[in-house]
Structure 1
Amino acid sequence: ATGTAEPVGRAWNELPEIPKRCQWANFLRNHDELSLDQLTEDERERVYRAFAPDEDMRAYGRGIRRRLAPMLGGDQRRVELMYSLLFSTPDTPILNAGEELGLGDDLRLKERESSRTPMQWSGDEPNAGFSTADPSRLVRPVVTDGPFAFGRVNVAAQERDPRSLLHFVRHAVRTYKANPAFGRGAWTFLSADDPAVLVHRCELDGHSVYAVHNLSCEAKAVQADLPDGLADVFHDTATAYEPIRGGRVHLRPYGYRWLRPRE
């Protein structure tokens, strides 16, 4: 909501200690409302303005009843950035069904039901391929209108598109599994000379990996506490970034980079 890294780092640092053999389960959205009851009134209003400006996007006076993609205006760059944060920080990432596609919501449904619409498998089958039943018999209707309608957002179409969110999530999962320090390592926040850039290191069994995230809509070239000799293992877009030299790191708008020492 602020476009700065400080609230993210503060939230992580305020997590209570848990046993070493345990992990937090981290998710961006689930099938309930996104509760904001732990925020101050000013923080809550700022989040509402950014992600749920209309009253019908909110629930129970304390949370947001939208899916992630609509909250971020359907901007795939921002959605990818959020998933990059989810997968590059220790603990267990959780995906709610349909979030790997960027499904929308149906605000005509009451309360939490708005984000519990059926999976959109196909763009040209009845009920988005979810069910062969008469539409009137579905527990909740398929999204049929707007930018998140099943004719536009569905598994079949994203399977065919190598630039789709579905392919991005698969790539993120593979990279996460290939670099276990991201999921199980001890993490440390590193300094950067721009408040919009979040930098952290994860260490496991003597191996370090790094992640850099640009939370703003502007390209950045920042000075960060990063060593030379790092190689990108995952980043936004297909175009390679300049190597990091002397701690100087380049990022596109809403860009992200996962790095590890060159072998």
Structure 2
Amino acid sequence: MDAPGREWWRDAVCYQIYPRSFQDSNGDGIGDLEGIIQRLDYLNDGTPHSLGIDAVWLSPTYPSPMADFGYDVADYCDVHPDFGTLETMDRLIAECHRRGIRVLLDWVPNHTSDQHPWFIESRSSRESPKRDWYIWRDPRPDGSPPNNWRSVFGGPAWTFDERTGQYYLHSFLKEQPDLNWRNPEVEAAMLQTLRFWFERGVDGFRIDVIGRILKHPDLPDNPPNPEWQPGDRERFSQLWIYNHNYPDVFEAVKRIRKVFDEYPGRVAVGEVFGTPEEIARYYGDADSPGLHLAFNFHFIHERGHAITPWEAPVLRRIIANAEATVPPFSQPCFALNNHDRSRFVTRQNHDGHGLERARAAPLLLLGLRNTPFLYYGEEIGMADVDIPPERQQDPARFRSVGRDPERTPMQWDASPGRGFTTGEPWLPFGPPSPNVAEQDGDPDSLLSLYRRAVWLRKELPALRVGSLTDLGGDDSVVSWWRQAPGAPGVAVAINTATVPARAQLPFPRGRIVLCTVRAREGERAGGEIELPPLGAAWIAEEA
């Protein structure tokens, strides 16, 4: 039950599903909405045997040519046949709501597919009534693109259209032309797609690359990045001054928020990138709010870091920066995994200890003051899968094999089809282990640890609604103290070192309620606690 007057998303644990990879119900090797329905009890059946998930976010399920696996939308108000129908989506929403699970869809406002009717009409002629729905410009005198902007996926961010003699802008693939959000008709049409889904009962949206929907109106060249080196990704060769987090974006976000406010209880979660201060701007202010939540990906990667190291001073700084910048009327939103980044177990396995760090990860993520997002398979320790060249699918291969390794099918059991499909999976499986079946009945498994963490978070007011106070620490330990009025406080301590370490506790008497070493749960602790190598614990205060 939601506390009176308290928005549900403040206390929720959310779970990202990549629909192609969660559960296939018809044997075609592609996950679908019916498959998700079949697995809902795994997410939350109302008992601690389930994960206890409060909301699911579905990566795009819209009709699409799948040039970028759904992030090239051809129709914002329907469902791709690979995934089902509108009726299946309606039933999924109803089945989720019956279990107390909210549903968030993925909204892609920056660009459409080049097969969307709007773009087909726009490129038909310079006189098209929808010409200005996209960003068209004449070539430079030498015939080159209008400016020097680079696509996120490599190459120029412009493609020349022979028929009409102009270039169109695409921040991503050429099959993903950017919408012109400076045209009020575009904004109105896109906001109407939100209302379509709200009327069908959707509880909110994760909003894709919202920081790019408005660029500098004159489209000037971006300056070169003085820190870029040959061999670095091309997209970082210039500073995104004029096409990313441009100040006009923030007013557009506030207008988007007003549509969410037309439907009480809905939540807007933005995919944003930048400094802590830039992330905070997306929240707006108390009198003119923006997003309810803005993703902070700094545990995954920070500016200048391909991979954020699992080191206490780094984690402490990320937490402190978020606490200092997010406005008081909202809260941070963290994730350790998603569909665009190498999985945590692989990222943090440079010394062979990735799985040990993965056991501490839920205690960090669920112990913070935030709305946490889990990524399917994170709870069983799924790692990146080596994809042979002939099976690679991702067209945006900015790494050697793109983003396929972190998008492989969910491993439900050790059978040939991993419990995911009776057919040939769209991406190859990893080794049979890890899988859900092998961990389901094992109280010491990572899955059991995640279940305990999620359900304890529901039970302990300090973790759900409490304030956060840094407890200091050293180069090995990051720790903090959660407090809620009238409830026992809870200390969270994470040892990032590969040797034992001690954490100071802010109370003389306490009890370990969750630990990476399950045998220690229930153990008394006060004053300080010794943590095993790469271990973590939640310690509840006792009178």
TM-score of the superposed pair, with normalisation by structure 1: 0.75
Partner residue in 2 for 1:141: 428
* Cα 1:114/1:4, change in 2 over 3 Å: closer
Superposition pairs of residues 9-28 of structure 1, within 5 angstroms? 9-15=316-322, 17-28=325-336
Tell me the CA shift for residue 2 of structure 1.
Answer: 5.5
Aligned 8 A contact 2:449 2:516 in 1: no
Aligned 8 A contact 1:92 1:183 in 2: no
Superposition pairs of residues 175-186 of structure 1, within 5 angstroms? 175-186=456-467
Whether 1:232 aligns to 2:522 is: no
Aligned 8 A contact 1:236 1:257 in 2: yes
TM-align CA RMSD? 2.2
Aligned 8 A contact 2:360 2:534 in 1: yes
Partner residue in 2 for 1:5: 312
Superposition pairs of residues 119-158 of structure 1, within 5 angstroms? 119-124=410-415, 126-133=416-423, 135=424, 138-143=425-430, 149=431, 151-158=432-439
Higher alpha-carbon deviation: 21-30 or 71-80: 71-80
Whether 1:174 aligns to 2:455 is: yes
Letter in 1 for 2:500: A
Whether 1:97 aligns to 2:343 is: no
Tell me the CA shift for residue 4 of structure 1.
Answer: 3.8
Distance in 1 of aligned mates of 2:327 and 2:309: 32
Distance in 2 of aligned mates of 1:173 and 1:243: 22
Distance in 2 of aligned mates of 1:128 and 1:2: 32
Tell me the CA shift for residue 183 of structure 1.
Answer: 3.1
Distance in 1 of aligned mates of 2:507 and 2:438: 41
Partner residue in 1 for 2:501: 220
Aligned 8 A contact 1:229 1:261 in 2: yes
Aligned 8 A contact 2:495 2:535 in 1: yes
SS at match of 1:103: coil
Distance in 2 of aligned mates of 1:85 and 1:158: 21
Aligned 8 A contact 2:310 2:496 in 1: yes
Distance in 2 of aligned mates of 1:159 and 1:153: 11
Partner residue in 2 for 1:118: 409
* Cα 1:129/1:72, change in 2 over 3 Å: same
Tell me the CA shift for residue 70 of structure 1.
Answer: 2.3
Tell me the CA shift for residue 3 of structure 1.
Answer: 5.7
Partner residue in 2 for 1:260: 540
Question: Could you list the runs of 5+ residues in structure 1 that have no partner in the other structure?
Answer: 34-65, 144-148
Letter in 1 for 2:513: V
Distance in 2 of aligned mates of 1:112 and 1:139: 14
Aligned 8 A contact 2:309 2:348 in 1: no
Letter in 2 for 1:215: T
Letter in 1 for 2:471: L
**Cα distance per residue 1:63-95 (max 9 Å; x no partner):** xxx211222336432111122100111111111
Aligned 8 A contact 1:87 1:172 in 2: yes
Distance in 2 of aligned mates of 1:69 and 1:3: 11
Tell me the CA shift for residue 28 of structure 1.
Answer: 0.3
Letter in 1 for 2:348: L
Aligned 8 A contact 2:478 2:495 in 1: yes
Between the aligned residues of both structures, percent identity stands at: 28
**Cα distance per residue 1:187-223 (max 9 Å; x no partner):** 110133x42111211122243221111111101235x
Distance in 2 of aligned mates of 1:14 and 1:191: 14
* Cα 1:3/1:129, change in 2 over 3 Å: closer
SS at match of 1:88: coil
SS at match of 1:95: strand
Larger radius of gyration: 2
Partner residue in 1 for 2:159: none
Tell me the CA shift for residue 25 of structure 1.
Answer: 2.2
Partner residue in 1 for 2:357: 78
* Cα 1:3/1:173, change in 2 over 3 Å: closer
Tell me the CA shift for residue 244 of structure 1.
Answer: 3.6
Partner residue in 2 for 1:205: 485
SS at match of 2:493: strand
Between 1 and 2, higher relative CO (CA 8 Å, sep ≥ 6) is seen in 1
Bigger strand fraction: 1
Distance in 2 of aligned mates of 1:26 and 1:203: 20
Distance in 2 of aligned mates of 1:202 and 1:9: 15
Letter in 1 for 2:529: V
Aligned 8 A contact 2:385 2:405 in 1: yes
SS at match of 1:111: coil
Aligned 8 A contact 1:119 1:130 in 2: yes
* Cα 1:240/1:100, change in 2 over 3 Å: closer
Partner residue in 2 for 1:44: none
Letter in 2 for 1:25: C
Distance in 2 of aligned mates of 1:94 and 1:3: 18
Letter in 1 for 2:377: G
Letter in 1 for 2:404: E
Q: What count of residue pairs does the alignment treat as equivalent?
A: 218
